[in-house]
Copies of this chain bind each other. A is one copy, B any other.
Amino acid sequence: MTVEWKGAPVAKALTESLVPRVEALKQDGILPTLAVVRVGEREDDLSYERGLCKRFASAGAEVRVVALPADAPQEELENTVRTLNEDGGVHGILLFSPLPKRYDEERVRKLLSPRKDVDCLTDANAFCVYAGKCGPGLPGFAPCTPQAVVELLDFYGYDLTGKNVTVVGRSAVVGKPLAMLLLQRNATVTVCHTRTRDLPAVCRNADLLVVCAGKAGLIGADCLREGMCVVDVGIHVVDGKLCGDVDAFGASRVPLDACTPVPGGVGAVTTAVLLKHTVQAAERRA
């Protein structure tokens, strides 16, 4: 029987573990606060924002939404970030990314204070991920999605040390930082991508397969091996249904040890990671 590694219990446990830390900060007069900078009203952004607000509320922390009109000029966006950088009541800043194309996103990112950059949009935090400088007592924040993968594995007691882990995807947002976090946890990490020869063979060779290729149904039964564990980071809408990078039908024919569902897997953990990072940022300022 394949164990289902659901995200909801991970998010719940992580959130509960943060409640006492939120309480302690409040007793010191600090309300951990995440500022969300949104341009326009994309449905994806709004939906994620609702999830965030609910998550933060459940731990007694605050989300402050700064919504700019869809036609806000670059300067207004930049000034918003500058103001939030300086605002002592704001501990984390989340900028919905990618921005609409007419913005110079690079410029905005460079403005963001690394100390408040809880989703790793700055070069300084990317460096920390690369150098193994994220986590308790360390300065950096990893991007939420790869961090959510690690939180999920921790919750389900998966010990990464010495495991052969194959990561499919090398994006700057997920694949690469994830490879760094897994290496930091002493996994033997293989990074695959579009130019990999014989992807199925490289995948089957893994104890743990993490797929973040951004391609619906890329991973079929030929990429899977009995007894392996699979984390699917992908999320796509195909024929009106949500699915991941793993072909669910193919996967159902292979007796895996464990597998994350889509939806309801890694994606359900990211808001809790943002909460964790915001609390860490607030504690550093305390």
Alpha-carbon gap, A192 to B192, bound state (A): 15
For A191, the chain B residues whose CB sits under 8 A away are 179, 183, 188-190
- The answer on a CB contact under 8 Å between B193 and A186 is yes
**Which chain A residues numbered 159 to 217 have a C-beta less than 8 Å away from chain B?**
161-164, 170, 172, 176, 179-180, 183, 186, 188-193, 195-197, 202, 205
Alpha-carbon gap, A170 to B170, bound state (A): 18
Segment at the interface with B among A36-44, A72-80, A126-134, A244-252: A126-134
- The answer on a CB contact under 8 Å between B193 and A190 is no
The answer to the question of A4 belonging to the interface, with a C-beta cut-off of 8 Å to chain B, is no
The answer to the question of A16 belonging to the interface, with a C-beta cut-off of 8 Å to chain B, is no
A115–chain B nearest beta-carbon distance, Å: 15
In the complex, which residue of chain B has the Cβ closest to the Cβ of A196?
B188
For A164, the chain B residues whose CB sits under 8 A away are 197, 202
A174–chain B nearest beta-carbon distance, Å: 14
For A180, the chain B residues whose CB sits under 8 A away are 130
A128–chain B nearest beta-carbon distance, Å: 9
Question: Taking A123-B127, A162-B197, A195-B161 as contacts, is the C-beta distance between A202 and B188 under 8 angstroms?
Answer: yes
Taking A126-B131, A130-B180, A190-B190 as given, write out 10 further A-B residue pairs in contact, using a Cβ cutoff of 8 Å, ordered by the A residue number: A123-B131, A127-B127, A129-B130, A161-B195, A162-B195, A162-B197, A164-B202, A179-B191, A188-B197, A205-B205
The 3 A-B residue pairs with the shortest CB-CB distance in the complex, in nearest-first order: A130-B130, A186-B195, A162-B197
7 interchain pairs, CB-CB under 8 A: A123-B127, A126-B130, A130-B130, A163-B197, A176-B183, A183-B193, A188-B191
